Amino acid sequence: MILIIDDDVAIRTSLTLLLTRAGYEVAALPGPNEALTWVRHTRPDLILLDMNFSLGITGREGLELLSRLKIFHPDVPVILITAWGSIQLAVEGMRGGAVNFITKPWNNRQLIDVITTTLQLIPRTDITEPARDREDLDKSNQFGMIIGSSPAILNVLKMVARVAPTNASVLITGESGTGKELIAHAIHVNSRRAMYPFVKVNLGGMSQSLFESEMFGHRKGAFTDAITDRKGRFELADKGTIFLDEIGDLDPSSQVKLLRVLQDQTFEPLGDSRSRTVDVRVICATNRNLKEMIERGQFREDLYYRINLIGILLPPLRERRTDIGMLATGFIDSLVQSGAVKPTVISREAIEWLSRQNLYGNVRELRNLVERTAILTGDSTLVPAHFEANAEVAGNPDAGTPATLQSLDEAERRMILKVIGTYPNNLARVARTLGISRGALYRRLEKYNIPHESKN
In this predicted structure, which of 24-38, 229-243, 320-334, 405-419 has the lowest mean pLDDT? 405-419
> For the domain that residue 84 is a member of, what is the CATH number?
3.40.50.2300
Find the domain containing 422 and state its range.
318-447
pTM as predicted = 0.79
Question: What pLDDT score was predicted for residue 401?
Answer: 36
Look at residues 286, 315, 344 and tell me which one is the last residue of a structural domain: 315
Contact call for residues 82 and 123 (beta carbons, < 8 A): no
Cis peptide before 105 (omega within 30 of 0): yes
CA 415 from centre of chain: 35
Number of domains observed in the structure of the chain: 3
Question: Is the residue at 133 inside a domain?
Answer: no
Are residues 7 and 50 in contact, defined by beta-carbon separation less than 8 angstroms? yes
pLDDT tens-digit readout, 327-373: 999 999 998 888 888 899 999 999 999 999 988 889 999 998 999 89
Q: Quick one: 329 and 257 in the same domain?
A: no
pLDDT at 10 over 60: yes
Give, in degrees to the nearest 5, the angle at Cα 202 between 185 and 321.
55
R_g of the chain computed on alpha carbons: 27
**Are 261 and 290 contained in the same domain?**
yes
Answer yes or no: is 129 within a domain: no
Kindly report the CATH number assigned to the domain that includes residue 443: 1.10.8.60
Tell which residue, 160, 162, 152, has the closest CA to residue 129.
Answer: 162
Centre a 10 Å sphere on the Cβ of residue 442 and count the other Cβ atoms it contains.
Answer: 15
Q: Tens digit of pLDDT for each residue in 28-52?
A: 998 888 999 998 889 999 999 988 7
Q: Which of 261, 295, 315 is the last residue of a domain?
A: 315
What one-letter code names the amino acid at 208?
Q
Decide if 341 is inside a domain: yes
Percent of the chain with pLDDT over 70: 89
- Are 100 and 118 contacting, i.e. CB atoms less than 8 angstroms apart? yes
Which of 18-27, 187-196, 433-442 has the lowest average pLDDT? 433-442
177 and 302 inside one domain: yes
pLDDT greater at residue 395 or residue 289: 289
Are residues 40 and 76 located together in one domain of the fold?
yes
Strands (E), 64-118: 78-83, 100-104
Pick from 264, 205, 204, 189: nearest CA to 234? 264
Residues 223 and 83 in one domain: no
**Is residue 330 domain-shared with residue 309, that is, in the same domain?**
no
**What pLDDT sits at residue 110?**
85
Count other C-beta atoms under 10 Å from residue 338's C-beta.
10
Say if 224 falls within a structural domain.
yes
Q: How far is the C-alpha of 222 from the C-alpha of 46, rounded, in Å? A: 45
Residue 104 bridge partners (DSSP): 83
**Nearest-angstrom CA–CA distance, 254 and 258:** 6
Rounded to an integer, the average pLDDT of 215-220 is: 82
Q: Phi and psi (nearest 5°) for 360?
A: -65, -15
Mean pLDDT of the chain: 85
Query: How far apart are the C-alpha atoms of 108 and 227, rounded to whole Å?
Result: 37
- Is the pLDDT score of 128 beyond 60? no
Q: Which residues contact 420 (CB under 8 A, 6 or more apart)?
A: 427, 430, 450
Residue 347: left (phi > 0), alpha (psi -120 to 50), or beta?
A: beta
Question: Do 304 and 375 sit in the same domain of this protein?
Answer: no
pLDDT digits 0-9 by tens, 279-335:
999 999 999 999 999 999 999 998 999 899 899 999 999 999 999 999 999 999 998
Return the CATH number at 269: 3.40.50.300
pLDDT at 188 over 90: yes
Buried b (16+ CB within 10 A) or exposed e, 253-282: ebbebbbebbbbbebbbbeeeeebebebbb
Same domain, 255 and 161: yes
| Same domain flag for 62 and 162 | no
Among candidate residues 300, 315, 330, the one where a domain is terminated: 315
Give yes or no: residues 147 and 272 share one domain.
yes
One domain, residues 300 and 356:
no
360 in the same domain as 225: no
